[in-house]
Amino acid sequence: MTRLVLPEHLAVLMSGRQYIDVVGPAHPWPIPAGWWDHARSRVRELVEDPRAGATQNWTSWPEHTRDVAPFLQNLAMSLGGYVAIFAGEFAQFPEQLVDEYLSPTQRREPMVARNWYMTDCEWPLFLYKYAGNDPTARRGALELSQECVRLLSEIGPLRPRAEALLGIYERVLQTRELREFHTTAPFPEVARLWRHSLMTEAEQEVLPEIGGWGAALSWSYQGLQAAHQHLSRVTSRPETLAEVVASMALCDNVDTLPAGLAVAVGSEQFEEISQAFEVRQHGFDAVEWLQANRGWLARTLLAGEIDACRAWLAMAAQVSRVVAGLPGPPTPSAAPDTIGFVTDVEELFTFRPAANPMVGSFGSAPVPAGRVAPAVRVPRPLGSEAEEDELDDDTGVPEVEIGDPQGELADLVGLAPIKEQVRRLVAEARADQLRTTAGMPDRHRSRHMVFVGNPGTAKTTVARLLARIYAQLGTLSNGHLVEASRVDLVGQYIGQTSPKVRKMFNKASGGVLFIDEAYALIPHDSHRDFGVEAVSTLLKLMEDRRDEVVVIVAGYPREMQRFLSSNPGLASRFPKTLTFDDYDDDELFAIFRLVAGQAGFEVGPGVEERVRALIPDPHPPGFGNGRFIRNVFEEAVSIQAERLVALTDPTVEDIRTLVAADLPTEPPRDDPKLQGFYL
């Protein structure tokens, strides 16, 4: 029996020694003896350095936390990659570096692997940004940032990106013109310089995301293409790369491939991905695809291609998370199965066969003649416990990166009343914890709530952030969000509805169950409808398991009022209602500018006037708000793509700038399936 052996540079993974590993082309780094003491001592010096203070009210960090501590944590993750897979005993090493500054809610249990993604391309400038406008403070922040990176450059997998960033800092500090610009120019101009012209080609090859998410996606797709071609030659794969990318998007419930993907991969590749996406869209089984892909990677491990597998996984994780997030920053993704891969590596490379004593007893016994009766599947009645168990398969809790949800909420355009109400919800949760610590009785507070408002007013976005906020506070155990509609909760036949409701509730365990257009559960002629049973089952689960799941029902104001009046127990189960008002025109254009910036675009002259001209005045009933603006942006990117391919030699500025002519002449068709922030 062949036993798999890791190559020498990966042997530390199964050696029992301490190491830090970022799954990808880089090798894991054996932690030298005494390094943790040295690193933590240096961290204390950097955190207490007078060149930075405590200028921010850091969400979830203790009060008066100095800026360098969160910066170091974020820096350690960012140097792993703009999307990174940290694996092994020290998958949490960015937090472990600064653990003495963390609040109890930030400390997590060890995990096999951890997926991380950044949400801001300007991460090298965070400490500089907090220094304000004082030239001396700005220079000091740049010098201190450089010293933080120098410490982290000791960690092997972080070294290539750290050394590239150190070179940029050094050039800024030593070049008089660049130094004066950084100490005097407005921050947006400095950020624009970093994105467009500061980096050399060699630095761009290592830090692609500083050039924007489109540049990052193009870079990762090239790497995935190379790794996929290599592995496909070693172990046959029935899928093309276009089919893989389309399948990963479908795993994330992407309804329409983003226009930014076309710019990043080119029109020919985008056409192939689009065709695969359309063919696979109907009846796609995400669980089946993820298992098949995991199996293919395992076979390539058996073929001795663990290095190429690690590279493929890292590039695929980056591509899937950017595609899921475009036109904004990367977002969580279900594909590929990173934890499954790390588990498979351990299983395959630590396999030790054990001798079964039954072999001696039966190994030489003759096989009796006769036929083996086929297995018979006994029919089960609808609504039986057996059927319910079958429905409850595949209720694994997805991994959630908590990040800084309160900071993300604060950064959203508008929503001032909503932000205030969320601050009160946070205060209530913290106060309940303090009361429990003081020995006061549990009030068994219900945290279920109602969101009312027109489409595109950020109801789903706020619900998703609330799930992570409650997880951050320890109120919920995981912080994921499960979206459900009538089709997910109401059966077609007797006995199907209650199991469907329980299945969705179980999927939401530890997080938020978000039911949009909840009034569809109770149609006007509801006395013969299974929706009544769905609501009754939901109410009981909400009461019995209220500490486990927060239920949010959402929809138009008038229809939600009818829904809450349809059952005597409904209104009392939802003690809080958050009302999402329509955005005004200034906020809508601010959303357009933000979405464009997150996608790596600049807004050229005349664009604002064209966007405002497309916004209907007054807003019609059911106006799409943020969804409308996202449609406008997607149309503009598509029109710009046509303009770009007609140019003989487009410049970087041409590619990154939306001009007035790129805006549609008529308001775009509303797409109720569009996903993303402000929806």
DSSP codes, 379-428: P--TT-HHHHHHHTSS-PPPP-----HHHHHHHSSS-HHHHHHHHHHHHH
Model confidence over 579-606: pLDDT tens digits?
Answer: 998 888 888 998 898 888 888 888 999 9
Pair 570, 535: CB distance under 8 Å: yes
List all residues 6 or more positions away from 533 whose beta carbon is below 8 Å from its beta carbon. Answer: 490, 497, 498
More confident residue, 299 or 446: 299
- pLDDT at res. 268: 92
Tokens 């199965």: give the residue: 337
Cis bond before residue 208 (omega within 30° of 0):
no
User: What's the pLDDT score for residue 649?
Assistant: 84
CA dist 410 → 383, 384, 417 (Å): 46, 47, 12
Identify the band that residue 385 occupies on the pLDDT scale cut at 50, 70 and 90.
very low
Cα–Cα distance, 183 to 219 (Å, whole number)? 31
Cis peptide before 157 (omega within 30 of 0): no
- Answer yes or no: are the C-beta atoms of 168 and 149 closer than 8 Å: no
585-598 vs 626-645: helix crossing angle, rounded to 10 = 50
* Res 151: pLDDT: 97
Share of the chain above pLDDT 90, in %: 44
The answer to whether 602 and 658 are in contact (CB under 8 A) is yes
E strands present in 90-227 = 113-117
Lowest mean pLDDT: which of 224-228, 349-353, 460-464?
Answer: 349-353
Count of CB atoms situated within 10 Å of the CB of 379: 6
Residue 389 confidence (pLDDT): 45
Strand ranges of the sheet holding 83-87, from the earlier edge strand across to the other edge: 29-30, 19-22, 83-87, 113-117
* Tens-place pLDDT, residues 152-191: 999 999 999 999 999 999 999 999 999 999 999 999 999 9
| CA separation for the pair 315, 299 (Å, rounded) | 19
State if pTM tops 0.85. Answer: no
Nearest by Cα to 617 from 590, 585, 645? 585
Among candidate residues 322, 335, 225, the one with its CA nearest the CA of residue 280: 335
pLDDT at 498 (0 to 100): 86
Element of type H or E holding 137: helix 135-152
Token pair listed for 214: 């489109």
Provide the 3-class DSSP secondary structure of residue 555.
strand
Percent of the chain with pLDDT over 70: 90
For residue 95, which of 83, 111, 84, 106 has the smallest C-alpha distance? Answer: 106
Alpha-carbon gap, residue 479 to 469, rounded angstroms: 7
Run of H or E residues at 551: strand 550-555
Predicted confidence at residue 676, as pLDDT, reads 46
The sign of the CA dihedral 356, 358, 364, 369 is negative
In this predicted model, what pLDDT tens digit does every residue of 522-571 receive, in sequence order?
876 555 567 888 888 898 898 888 888 999 999 888 888 888 887 777 88
pLDDT band at 283 (very low <50, low <70, confident <90, very high): confident
What fold characterizes domain 405-433+443-580? Answer: Rossmann fold (3.40.50)
CA dihedral 275, 279, 282, 283 (to 10 degrees): -130
Grouping H, G, I as helix, E, B as strand and the rest as coil, residue 520 is helix
Q: Give the pLDDT confidence of 352-368 residue by residue, as tens digits.
A: 777 778 777 665 555 55
3-state secondary structure of 135: helix
Identify the CA nearest to 615 among candidates 637, 590, 648, 639: 590
Condensed to tens digits (0 to 9), the pLDDT of residues 616-645 reads 888 887 788 888 888 899 889 889 888 888
Neighbours of 185 (CB within 10 A): 15
Residue 356: what pLDDT? 79
Element (H, E) at 231: helix 213-234
CATH topology of domain 585-662: Helicase, Ruva Protein; domain 3 (1.10.8)
Cis upstream peptide for 186 (omega within 30°): no
Of 265-269, 512-516, 618-622, give the lowest mean pLDDT range.
618-622
CA distances from 157 to 23, 76, 453, 607, 609 (A): 9, 11, 47, 43, 47
Per-residue confidence (pLDDT) for residue 310, from 0 to 100: 96
Listed residue (658, 531, 663, 673) closest to 602, CA to CA: 658
Domain locations in the chain? 8-208, 213-349, 405-433+443-580, 585-662
Helix, strand, coil percentages (3-state) for the chain, rounded to 5, are: 55, 5, 40
- Token pair, residue 208, equals 């692609």
Q: Give the model's pLDDT for residue 1.
A: 45
Is residue 377 predicted with pLDDT exceeding 60?
no
DSSP β-bridge partners for residue 21: 87
pLDDT at residue 494 is higher than 60: yes
The answer to whether 158 and 79 are in contact (CB under 8 A) is yes
* Distance, CA of 257 to CA of 662 (rounded, Å): 19
- Taking only the tens place, the pLDDT of each residue in 406-429 is 888 888 888 889 989 998 888 888
Q: State the average pLDDT for the chain.
A: 86
The conformation of residue 85, written as its DSSP 8-state character, comes to E
Phi, psi torsion values for 577, nearest 5 degrees: -125, 125
In this model, does residue 677 exceed pLDDT 80? Answer: no
Give the residue among 157, 159, 168, 158 at the shortest CA–CA distance from 199.
Answer: 168
Looking at residue 392, what is its pLDDT? 47
CB 606 within 8 A of CB 659: yes
Supply φ then ψ for residue 282, to 5 degrees: -85, 120
Cβ atoms of 59 and 71 closer than 8 Å = no
Confidence bin at 234 (pLDDT 50/70/90): confident
Q: How many residues does the chain have?
A: 679
The answer to whether the bond into 398 is cis (omega within 30° of 0) is no
Residues 124-143 have pLDDT tens digits of: 999 999 999 999 999 999 99
Q: Which range, of 39-53, 274-288, 557-571, averages the lowest pLDDT?
A: 557-571
pLDDT at residue 115 is higher than 80: yes
Q: What is the mean pLDDT of residues 320-345?
A: 90
What's at 426, amino acid-wise?
V
CB 211 within 8 A of CB 84: no
CA-to-CA dists, residue 481 to 400, 472, 510, 551, angstroms = 9, 14, 9, 10
